[in-house]
Structure 1
Amino acid sequence: MGNTIPSLFAGVVGRDPSLPFLTYYDDATGERTELSGATLANWVSKTANLLVDGCGLGPGDVAAVRLPPHWQTAAILLGAWTAGLNVTYGEPTAAGSDVEFASLAAAETGAPGPADRYVLGLAPMGLPMRGGVPAGWADYVAEVRQYGDHYPGPPGGAGTEDLVARARALGLPGGRLLVDAVAHPDPVEWLVGPLAAGASIVLSVNSDPEKLPGRAAAEGATAI
């Protein structure tokens, strides 16, 4: 399946793009969003095209991702790696980065950052932000929708081999995996680990522990 994150993603999705790849639960809001491999791949390609064509970035540039575990976070991380960018995740500032993606709460901290900055409302159904966008920021959802569903650039992912090695060391099973993001907030655990195992993902945030066993059974997933 390859040793880079984009090649792992392509391998899992390529088996059957119509199958659910990432199912997202938020127990705080009751949201359930399910994305097939093809749908998430479209978001990944749009993000890569935004970074390359919209921001003029490429291999060696740095994306700062200040977002919680979320299906849109998966699209941004995979899109950045696909475009060949390096990624810093969850750091308090975006110092030294070339592009930044942040939640509204993180964007409102007022920390200085790069010229290209995208804020996410993380609304259900991938809707654009409601209300105003902070000064100096653009709405990721509104912007990324303008870009193509296919990324024609060269294969990215160089430099992600160490992340893949860390993910494989977790020894996760294949199939379908339920990941509680409260216990596993690191993308190596909730995103790259399942990819390295060839698995699809059920991502649970703000999890009610009492709901997790039933959710795993309903989704046909193994809880990790």
Structure 2
Amino acid sequence: MKTTIPQVFTAAIGRDPAAPLLTWYDDATGDRTELSGITLDNWVQKTANLLVDGIGLGHGDAVALLLPPHWQTAALLLGVSAAGLAADLDGDPQPVEALFTTPERAGVTAGGWATTDRYVTGLLPLAMPLRTVPEGFVDYVIEVRNYGDHFRGEPVAAADRALAGPVELSHDDVVAAAHDRAAELGITPGARVLIDTAALPDPIDWLLAPLVAGASIVLCANLDPTKTKPRAATEKVTLTLV
């Protein structure tokens, strides 16, 4: 049984590296982004290298991810885990070594989170960079492209901290919780799951539960109810969670 988030992700890629693993829709912008396991892994590897080689973080350091559900959020969370770091997903300021957020939250987070390593992403279609970057921040999608496609770091252990914040969880804890949620949500091996981000905003639900179950994800933000059924048919969805 896989006991760390990197092990879970590696297994998910290995089932069919070229098949769609995470397909993103935003009905407010019309954005659709499809990522195979190989493509998502490329973002994960580059992110881990950014965190370790770029920022200089070490095993066990905490990284705040103050981001909504999105494919870039998935890449960052998986990249943090691959680097042996702990993700802080809580909205209240905590001691962290780096921070990733959106322009909308940059003004709030800049004053409350004590770190000089601050990154921002617009979560734009085609991973476009921001036209204007908030003062004191670096654009994640520009910076991450400068790093290598293969990360070679310390192995991650089941007992290592995976989630930081008021409630800290190990990799083993998070993977076990994801297995439990997959069972509760009815996610089975080989499923293709359409998920409404408004209904299931927790990454254990929209990202990790499908991955541990051996499913692929169709993640939908600002979901237009009239598009749910036709999209499910187009994407060959077997389970809809809205």
Same fold (TM over 0.5): yes
User: Once superposed, what is the RMSD of the aligned Cα atoms?
Assistant: 1.3
Deviation at 1:155, TM superposition (A): 2.8
Structure 1 counterpart SS, 2:208: helix
1:165 aligns with 2:182: no
Structure 1 stretches of 4+ moved >3 Å: none
Gap regions ≥5 residues in structure 2: 161-169
Residues 1-224 of structure 1 correspond to what in structure 2 (within 5 A)? Answer: 2-93=2-93, 95-109=94-108, 110-113=110-113, 114-130=115-131, 132-156=132-156, 158=160, 159-170=170-181, 171=183, 172-174=187-189, 175-221=191-237, 222-224=239-241
Deviation at 1:150, TM superposition (A): 0.8
Deviation at 1:90, TM superposition (A): 4.3
**Aligned 8 A contact 2:59 2:154 in 1:** no
Deviation at 1:67, TM superposition (A): 0.4
**Aligned 8 A contact 1:164 1:196 in 2:** yes
Deviation at 1:216, TM superposition (A): 1.5
Amino acid at match of 1:26: D
Separation of aligned partners in 1, 2:112 and 2:102: 15
Separation of aligned partners in 1, 2:75 and 2:215: 16
Gap regions ≥5 residues in structure 1: none
Deviation at 1:112, TM superposition (A): 3.3
Structure 2 counterpart SS, 1:41: helix
Separation of aligned partners in 1, 2:142 and 2:227: 34
Residue equivalent to 2:166: none
**Aligned 8 A contact 1:66 1:92 in 2:** no
**Aligned 8 A contact 1:103 1:119 in 2:** yes
Residue equivalent to 2:163: none
Deviation at 1:217, TM superposition (A): 1.7
Aligned residues: 222
Deviation at 1:134, TM superposition (A): 1.1
In the superposition, the TM-score normalised over structure 2's length comes to 0.88
**Aligned 8 A contact 1:80 1:86 in 2:** yes
Identity %: 52
Structure 2 counterpart SS, 1:129: coil
Structure 2 counterpart SS, 1:22: strand
